[in-house]
Structure 1
């Protein structure tokens, strides 16, 4: 079974996208010193479950098209506060807050670059790291 170990955000304006995610989710961005413009994204302490990612300049446009990438969802302590932060930072709510019974509250937003991402507030914040990474089987 393969696990997701990295994500990438493609952006027309990477600096603007970094500012958006820093303001909304508190992520840290570090410019990579490699052969192409690329930023490393740290989403939280290495001692907690989760993955880190990257940010790069989008090659081409997707205006008016459906989602053509994975939608990543970030776990947040208070969804309403983070939805406000997303709007203040220049994003838009594209799927309003809705309940997911037995799990929590989910909403989808569009960032300043047109990417859709999710934010989830768990029903029980005290055990959110266990909940978010508890394996389930479809068999």
Structure 2
């Protein structure tokens, strides 16, 4: 397990959260599937609570109150920002759209929501006391975040302008995909790829992948907990992956990294 105590470099996927129609049901689902425990809900922030692994935050959940009804139940990915207001200006200059202006979340930090020119929504988080993901490389934590979009060229240009992403192409000609590294980042922070052309009207969206010890066992836990399987387990270069959905039909991926498979842990 790798613990983190410092804020993430700007542009790095640093947090993910989910609006739940039935928070108790959703909490139990992810407890069963990913082993999460939970911090106390914060009434001053609409009942928002942190999901925890080893007592450290790995994701957020909050109830769909009256002001959030009708908002899609999707895992929202947040990108780190050291100066959120200045970064918001760059988003608009690069052709993005503001969905929610930056707001201060008490002593924890600042957040806002935007949409890139290809239609994918993303959040930005400027850390205060809450840095975002405080533990990685452990089952239940986020293993990877990426963007799949019909116009990957436009998306790559946009995020390069806003966050200074540097790309390395790792996909195929018929399935473009690139990992990105942020300035001052030591390793790839995420990826941008193209949606399947055969999937007509596939929306642009950021998605989240959680690490698990054994994908097959985790898929069975998803079914037992009342979720569904979107894509059965399959092998990729970096491990074994499946795509599943939770109580509100929110999709997410689960993956056993290749290093874990190799060691049998």
TM-score (norm 1): 0.56
Match of residue 126 from structure 1: 200
Determine which structure has more spread, i.e. the larger CA radius of gyration.
2
Runs of 4+ in 1 over 6 A off after TM superposition: none
Q: Deviations over 1:43-97 (max 9, x none)?
A: 48xxx9x8754412377xxxxxxx9965421222222233233334451323226
Whether the aligned pair in 2 keeps the contact of 1:5 and 1:51 (CA below 8 Å) is no
Change (3 A) 1:113 1:25: farther
Change (3 A) 1:4 1:81: closer
1: distance between equivalents of 2:159 and 2:122? 20
Instruction: Identify the match of residue 35 of structure 1 among 84, 106, 127.
Output: 106
Whether the aligned pair in 1 keeps the contact of 2:105 and 2:111 (CA below 8 Å) is no
Whether the aligned pair in 2 keeps the contact of 1:76 and 1:120 (CA below 8 Å) is yes
1: distance between equivalents of 2:184 and 2:78? 13
Aligned length: 128
Match of residue 14 from structure 1: 84
2: distance between equivalents of 1:24 and 1:88? 7
Change (3 A) 1:11 1:33: closer
Match of residue 189 from structure 2: 116
2:150 is the alignment partner of 1:77: yes
Change (3 A) 1:10 1:70: farther
For CA contacts below 8 A with separation 6 or more, give which structure has more relative contact order. Answer: 1
Q: Deviations over 1:114-139 (max 9, x none)?
A: 4833222113162424xx99811239
Q: Flag structure 2 segments of 5+ consecutive residues without an equivalent.
A: 1-28, 31-72, 130-136, 208-228, 234-241, 243-265
Whether the aligned pair in 1 keeps the contact of 2:110 and 2:125 (CA below 8 Å) is yes
1: distance between equivalents of 2:128 and 2:176? 30
2: distance between equivalents of 1:11 and 1:76? 22
Match of residue 63 from structure 1: none
Q: Flag structure 1 segments of 5+ consecutive residues without an equivalent.
A: 60-66
TM-score (norm 2): 0.35
1: distance between equivalents of 2:157 and 2:122? 24
Change (3 A) 1:83 1:43: closer
The Cα shift of 1:35 comes to 1.4
